[in-house]
């Protein structure tokens, strides 16, 4: 996956926000965005279950994106909720278990195909650290019985 220096700079400014009433975490790692949330753009041959997980993560909306970019889409255990007002932004709302499952499948796919996309050991280690923090948010949300919202901003 080749990218220009402008693309790389834009990716460095991406922040993925994972939040619930039980806690929140912001991922600021560009590799997490590139190889986990945007895994579906890498053109991998996927099983139906893997495709379903990738679809969940691919549906995470840009927090400040144009309204027409966010349609009402949903799947098993998740939905995209458009902004409700001027001070709000669109989010993917999901059960903690659904997000955890999607992240685990993406993680497994990344490990399987890391060499193909020249993912460095440092990038994998950073993604693993970010996933651990996100899993903590998901566990707290699961224990509290609340949904999780996720969006990104660049």
Task: State the pTM of this model.
Answer: 0.87
* Number of residues that make up the chain: 154
Q: What is d(CA 8, CA 14) in angstroms, rounded to the nearest whole number?
A: 10
Closest CA to 124 of 106, 150, 138, 151: 106
Domain containing residue 11 = 5-153
Number of domains in the chain: 1
Q: What confidence tens digit (pLDDT) does each residue in 96-154 have?
A: 999 999 999 999 999 999 999 999 999 999 999 999 999 999 999 999 999 999 999 98
Considering only the C-alpha atoms of the chain, give the largest distance between any 2 of them, rounded to a whole number of Å: 44
Q: What confidence tens digit (pLDDT) does each residue in 55-89 have?
A: 999 999 988 776 555 556 888 889 998 888 878 88
């Amino acid at each position: 996956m080749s990218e220009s220096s402008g693309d790389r700079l834009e990716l460095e400014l991406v922040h993925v926000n994972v939040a619930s009433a039980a806690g929140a975490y912001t991922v600021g790692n560009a590799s997490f965005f590139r190889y986990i949330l945007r895994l579906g753009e890498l053109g991998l041959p996927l099983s139906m279950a893997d495709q379903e997980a990738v679809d969940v993560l691919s549906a995470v909306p840009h927090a400040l994106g144009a309204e027409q970019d966010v349609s009402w889409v949903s799947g098993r255990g998740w939905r995209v909720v458009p902004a409700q007002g001027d001070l709000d932004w669109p989010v993917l709302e999901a059960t903690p278990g659904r997000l955890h499952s999607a992240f685990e499948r993406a993680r497994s796919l990344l490990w399987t195909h890391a060499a193909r996309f020249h993912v460095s050991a440092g990038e994998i280690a950073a993604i693993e650290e970010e996933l651990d923090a996100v899993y903590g948010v998901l566990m707290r949300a699961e224990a509290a019985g609340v949904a999780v919202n996720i969006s990104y901003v660049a």
